Structure 1
Amino acid sequence: MLPTFNSPSSLPRLSINKDHSPRRSLAKPWLTASPTTYSGIPSTYPRSGSSGTDTRLSNILRSRTRVTNLAMVILLSVLGLSLFGNMRTWAGKVEGDGVVWEKDSDGTIGRSTGGKGKGLRIGSVKSIEDTMSKSDGFGGLDHLIVVAGHAIWTGSDPELRDQDDQWLLDPIQRGGRTVRAILEHIKAASDLAVTDAKSLLVFSGGQTRRSATHTEGQSYLTLALASSMLPHTTAPAGQEADKGESDVPSVSPFPRATSEDFALDSYENLLFSIARFKEYTSNYPKKITVVGFTLKEPRFETLHRKAIRFPSNAFEYVGIDLEGDLTEFREGEKKFGFDQFKRDLYGCHEFLTEKRRGRNVFRRWHPYHSSAPQLRALMENCPSLNEDDHPVEQDLFKGPLPWDP
């Protein structure tokens, strides 16, 4: 029988050694790249130092599989629902000590009406709310009277109140006439407050001088009381100023006057006084009267009132100016006041922000984001600079406000 030969392709490859003897040549699979290799090494070959189990797991994880469109839809739906639920929980609730707190639409955290406990209104903070008296009887007040501070009275004798050395003043304010005008502002506003039983008088201004130990607003209120521009009254029952053994009712300061101690410019004088009114009465004013320098009336009427969208028919400005030539003051008001706020309606860009920073020498933080949460978005509103002198109406805050019709 003749021998049977395999096909040439199945025969082993031969090579000739130097001594002319045949040598079998074996293929080296680790030198041949294939789709199943990693760095030139077949994935079926265990790497040095790894177990067979690790290799099999690696092969399974690297192997291809088929996922239907339905399975992908289900997986993505579950992922989306999970993300939505977690974000809603994070954004809506903060839980602790068995009490549920919720974020209002403006981001203010307050105790939930549906949570455990008393059920305070959204936006309130319980630890502060618990300290507030509910029997002051100020809920019926609806008229806010504002006096914007410009200096700080440091004296103790009201008889000397018209002397410059009793005040912390800027150089341009010296000479007597600025102090006399300020005293007229305090007197006019005090008279309005005494006359209108539904009004609250707010002296507004922060601790703006490094040598000051108290605020502009506090100093104005102290002077008004010390000078008897505001009368002292008998304290309501249960609220005696100094409780003692005597049955004689004690005397307390005029109850419908207070200070606002954080404002750093005229826009904040107006806005923060509204927030202070809310703190004091639990309501927002229906009418506002501002008492100040006549030359600043356009700034308040044309810019600040419009910026907060307060109705023009419920807003009044009582102007009392300095004596004598006002040319220098008018030029300064236009250049550094009116024009700057027309360009930066909410005072949130560098020039006006830098002025506020320079006046906030004691690094005070106002509380109105919590106490007047309905104004929080307005307080944080910051449109672009008005570089092309377009009408200010284009930059007005668009969100809801308590005095909207």
Structure 2
Amino acid sequence: MTSSSSLFSSGGGAGSSSGANERARKSAISLAFSNGSATGPNAPLRDRLAARSRVTNLGIVLLLSATALSMLLNLRYLALGGASRPPRGFASWSSFHGTTPDELKANLPAPPPGSNRLDHLVIVTGHAIWAGCDFEGRSKDENWILEPYQVGGSIETYWKHIEKGLEIADADPKALLVFSGGQTRTVSLQTEAESYFSLAIASGMNIPTLQGFDFSFNSTSSHSHKSNSKAISASSDDVLGKGAHANAGVPTAKGLAGVRMTTENFALDSYQNFLFSIARFREYTGVYPERITVVGYGMKKSRFEELHAKAVRWPIKNFVRGQKRFHYVGIDDQGDTKPEYEGEKIKGFALFERDMYGCHGRLLSKRRDRNPTRRFHPYYTSAPEIADLLNWCPGDNLGLQGVYRDSLPWDLRVAGELSGWGRATTKFREEHQGKSGWSGVGDSRWLDVGRERQ
């Protein structure tokens, strides 16, 4: 009995000890859930670490807020930021743009003498291709490569655009005239810009030239201009060619290196006319322009001022040396233009208003249709400071909300008396003006670009 009782008692003692431990463990867990003393400041560290944390309402709100913010940022990135990713093989945009590759620079001569003093970009936008044999035939449709809707009067307007561009550039010795328009027709090897350039030369009008140069030729044309300068000259045969189409002979004319005219051969619509001509100015002169004048249809003035200029953030309301930084010269077809203005609102302005960079839907389709020979522009390398703007394509239908938002060479920066002031830089100047240690230096990425480099 004793033995048996002892054995039973011993077993009971062990069970009691085990049960006590279990009860203690459960008590600790219970206290943890009820914020009891097991998790208080005096509780053992092991118990506090083992205790479960309470999930409060505040914690839930914070987690949901963080999740919502993350989703909004992701949506914003997908809508706006997709185009900001650098091309494959480049870790960042800074490793992609900022300089022209050495291999390309090695093949370039220095800019034409005096071209670094040019600061006024005059753009004549192309609409068709002149393929005539002489200037006198410029008003005949058969001497142009036209779309059906351009037949019957438009070509006279095209010449007026060229004529006005010549007059503006000739009157301003700091202006570079850029004819802009790509190889848009399958039946011509020439670009719109090249044909406009050729027609300008064939006209015999005053040709804008760089300081110290002259371009003149002896021609029997009633439009000819004879210059007394002998620095550079070309005979009419040199200009027009012998038995060749005028616009085929012009590119080999003598003295073209001295003219203040050039071509931009890749634009496929009005937005590209604007941006690519800026890039071509940089490519030709080594600097960016301070002023821009556009010559085109009057019905497209709103498109350029309210959409294209805003898309590239060109300061259209600012002045430099008393001259507006942006000016538009509109010349329309003769006669009733009301249908054209109404059509522009629907087929032009409205499309670019929703898709300011022309990289979606109907505008993108138009570019593809106008690029039958699969041309690629060179401006990623020749105007590398704006490579990311050239590649910018925000989400469709964003309009002004998708405007390119990073730094540009013509920004209204803190440095430079010619720059003017934007809201951000105005605030910065007001906060730092007169403070010691501030030198007024702006965005250092552009200190070696454009006017500040001179």
- TM-score normalized with structure 2 length: 0.58
The answer to whether the Cα contact below 8 Å between 2:173 and 2:211 also exists between their aligned partners in 1 is no
The answer to whether the Cα contact below 8 Å between 2:129 and 2:191 also exists between their aligned partners in 1 is yes
Partner in structure 1 of residue 344 of structure 2? 333
Alignment equivalent of 2:128, drawn from 139, 147, 151? 151
Partner in structure 2 of residue 320 of structure 1? 331
Paired with 1:323 and 1:135, the residues of 2 have a C-alpha distance of: 40
Does residue 309 of structure 1 match 2:327? Answer: no
Paired with 1:344 and 1:136, the residues of 2 have a C-alpha distance of: 37
Alignment equivalent of 1:386, drawn from 397, 400, 404? 397
Paired with 1:236 and 1:286, the residues of 2 have a C-alpha distance of: 23
**Residue type matched to 2:349 in 1?**
F
**Residues 151 and 400 (structure 1 numbering): CA distance in 2 closer, same or farther, change over 3 Å?**
same
Structure 2: gaps of 5 or more residues: 1-88, 214-229, 235-254, 319-324, 413-454
Paired with 2:210 and 2:331, the residues of 1 have a C-alpha distance of: 32
**Residue type matched to 2:274 in 1?**
L
RMSD: 2.3
Question: Bigger radius of gyration, 1 or 2?
Answer: 1
The answer to whether the Cα contact below 8 Å between 1:225 and 1:232 also exists between their aligned partners in 2 is no
Higher strand share: 1
Paired with 2:335 and 2:108, the residues of 1 have a C-alpha distance of: 47
Partner in structure 2 of residue 211 of structure 1? 187
**Residues 335 and 147 (structure 1 numbering): CA distance in 2 closer, same or farther, change over 3 Å?**
same
Paired with 1:232 and 1:346, the residues of 2 have a C-alpha distance of: 32
The answer to whether the Cα contact below 8 Å between 1:106 and 1:374 also exists between their aligned partners in 2 is no
**Residue type matched to 2:345 in 1?**
K
Report the identity percentage: 47
Higher helix share: 2
Secondary structure at the counterpart of residue 94 of structure 2: coil
Does residue 107 of structure 1 match 2:118? Answer: no
Does residue 161 of structure 1 match 2:138? Answer: yes
- TM-score normalized with structure 1 length: 0.65
Paired with 2:210 and 2:99, the residues of 1 have a C-alpha distance of: 34
Paired with 1:142 and 1:128, the residues of 2 have a C-alpha distance of: 24
**Residue type matched to 1:301 in 2?**
E
**Residue type matched to 2:377 in 1?**
H
**Residues 249 and 357 (structure 1 numbering): CA distance in 2 closer, same or farther, change over 3 Å?**
closer
**Residues 187 and 394 (structure 1 numbering): CA distance in 2 closer, same or farther, change over 3 Å?**
same
**Residue type matched to 1:310 in 2?**
W
Matches for 1:215-226 after TM superposition, within 5 Å:
215-226=191-202
The answer to whether the Cα contact below 8 Å between 1:164 and 1:175 also exists between their aligned partners in 2 is yes
Partner in structure 2 of residue 171 of structure 1? 148
Partner in structure 2 of residue 283 of structure 1? 287
Partner in structure 1 of residue 385 of structure 2? 374
Matches for 1:184-263 after TM superposition, within 5 Å:
184-231=160-207, 250-251=233-234, 252-253=255-256, 255-263=259-267
Cα drift, residue 106 of structure 1: 5.8
Cα drift, residue 236 of structure 1: 6.5
**Residues 132 and 333 (structure 1 numbering): CA distance in 2 closer, same or farther, change over 3 Å?**
same
**Residue type matched to 1:153 in 2?**
W
Does residue 359 of structure 1 match 2:351? Answer: no
Secondary structure at the counterpart of residue 288 of structure 1: strand
Partner in structure 2 of residue 402 of structure 1? 409
Alignment equivalent of 1:141, drawn from 118, 136, 144? 118
Cα drift, residue 376 of structure 1: 1.0
Does residue 273 of structure 1 match 2:277? Answer: yes
The answer to whether the Cα contact below 8 Å between 1:224 and 1:230 also exists between their aligned partners in 2 is no
Partner in structure 1 of residue 425 of structure 2? none
User: Structure 1 residues 324-333 or 266-275, which shifts more?
Assistant: 324-333
Cα drift, residue 136 of structure 1: 1.7
